[in-house]
Amino acid sequence: VIPLYTSRRTSAYFGDCRDVLAHLIAKRGAFASMAWIDGPYGMGKGEWDRLTGARHNRSAVPDEAVEARVSRYVDLLSDLDPDGADLAAWYAPVLYRISAACLQSASAYVWNTDAGEAVLRPIMQALGWTFRGRVTWDKMTTKALIGANDMRTWLDVTEVCGFYQREPADLFEALASRMCSERDRVGVSRAAIDAAAGTSNVSQYWWQSRGWRLPTRPMWDILQRVSGGFRWDWEDLRREEEGVRAACPAFSAPIGVSNVWRHNAVSGSERLRINGEAHPCQKPLAFAERAILASTRPGEVVLDPFAGTCRCAVAVERLPASEAREVVSIDTDRCWLEAVRPSLLSDPMATATAAQPSLFGGSRE
């Protein structure tokens, strides 16, 4: 699969994300540290958004055990919630591919309607993701609030997003158990450590994998003095801890930001248009930037499989060099990929190389 174009930090693919991802995974294995999943909602916002009947010609999830669970779930939903069943049926194989493109330490953001987000949650869980919480986009004052009055229920001015990670259950087990065996070997007690350090139960997190904490350098020196010698250098321990933490999903939310994200529906100069027509579901650029900075580290790759107006790519291209990430954007609508292209190629070096793809053997991933 050859990208439609590449820029400094983005590879943009025109095609169905199921096919593009199958090729990318075959070529490079799992690569993404974050997936920004903003696909169809089943609301008929475009031809691609009509999922009616998806359960009747659902393609199977290639993993047998997951497929068995998904089938039972879709069957159950067919009785209770036919629209939900179509959504689940369409998304199951898609989320399977996206999951396969994600590293074990990745985070996933799954956008949908209120009902759709709930329907997709068990599928994500069947695929091995842990649900960490739900972000609500409060669109605040929209036309809906000013003009319409549905009279049957509260006006809906939100979209929601399930937030998932999949970290191994017991990350610090090896470190904690080695600490315990050293403690038992030299026979040092918590009380002796506290007495030497003038603290109260300071060592409790050194011996347990849950919430394991690296002793500070001064505490380590005290421990060595009291115990007569752990066979471990503090620097080695610190490096091991760093390795374990690097295998965890990144997460650093800006202070003061909760799981309610307030932002007007995208309008004005931020709203992209082609011949006066806006993309039906453009997300605020600030959301993509926020999620990327919170859930990835510099140098990591963001996957935007339903890219539309390519908010992840635009956000990443704007980051300073010290914060650089890469983005894989995919969409079945070539027009929108082309429409954002100039803003992604504003870097003159990128423009020069993107104009000569054949020099690089056709594929410039």
Q: Given the complex with ligand SAM, which of 53 and 168 has the nearer CB atom?
A: 53
Closer residue to ligand SAM (CB): 219 or 292: 292
Which CB, 58 or 279, lies closer to ligand SAM?
A: 279
**Which residues are CB-contacts of 113 (< 8 A; sequence separation ≥ 6)?**
41, 42, 43, 159, 160
Size of the chain, expressed as the number of residues it contains: 365
Let me know if 242 is exposed, middle or buried by CB neighbors in 10 A (0-12, 13-18, 19+): exposed
Looking at beta carbons, which residue is closest to ligand SAM?
A: 308
* Residue whose entry in the numeric block shows the structure tokens 């075959």: 26
The residue written with tokens 């510099």 in the block is: 298
Would you say 102 or 330 has its CB closer to ligand SAM?
Answer: 330
Compute the distance between CA of residue 239 and CA of residue 250 in angstroms, rounded to an integer: 17
For ligand SAM, which residue of 11, 66, 331, 345 counts as binding (CB under 6 A)?
Answer: 331
Longest dimension (CA), the chain: 76
CB 316 within 8 A of CB 325: yes
Q: How far is the CB of 112 from ligand SAM (least distance, A)?
A: 9
Q: Does 14 bind ligand SAM (CB under 6 A)?
A: no
Q: In the set 22, 25, 48, 103, which binds ligand SAM (CB under 6 A)?
A: 48
Is 83 a residue that touches ligand SAM (CB under 6 A)? no
Backbone φ, ψ for residue 168 (5° rounding):
-60, 150
Minimum CB distance to ligand SAM smaller for 3 or for 40: 40
For ligand SAM, the closer CB: 40 or 84: 40
CB nearer to ligand SAM: give 17 or 179.
17
Q: Is 159 in the site for ligand SAM (CB under 6 A)?
A: no
Using the rule CB under 6 A, is 344 a contact of ligand SAM?
no
Query: Is residue 17 a contact point for ligand SAM (CB under 6 A)?
Result: yes
Question: Minimal distance in Å, beta carbon 28 to ligand SAM?
Answer: 19
* 86 near ligand SAM, judged by CB under 6 A: no
Torsion over CA: 236, 229, 180, 188 (sign): negative
Query: How far is it, in rounded angstroms, from Cα 13 to Cα 330?
Result: 5
* Residue 82 structure tokens: 């036919």
Contact between 89 and ligand SAM per CB under 6 A: no
Q: How far is the CB of 287 from ligand SAM (least distance, A)?
A: 8
Chosen residue from 51, 95, 301, 330 binding ligand SAM by CB under 6 A? 330
Q: How far apart are CA 153 and CA 226, in angstroms?
A: 67
Query: Which of positions 258-317 make contact with ligand SAM (CB under 6 A)?
Result: 279, 281-283, 305-306, 308-309, 311
Q: How far is the CB of 16 from ligand SAM (least distance, A)?
A: 4
Sequence-distant (≥ 6) Cβ neighbours of residue 303 within 8 angstroms = 31, 32, 34, 35, 36, 98, 101, 102, 327, 328
The C-alpha angle with vertex 95 and arms to 94 and 99, in degrees rounded to 5, equals: 125
> Of the candidates 292, 332, 345, 354, which one interacts with ligand SAM according to CB under 6 A?
332
For residues 20 and 176, which CB has a smaller minimum distance to ligand SAM in the complex?
20
164 has which bridge partners? Answer: 108, 131
Binding site for ligand SAM (CB under 6 A): 16-17, 38-40, 48, 279, 281-283, 305-306, 308-309, 311, 330-333, 336
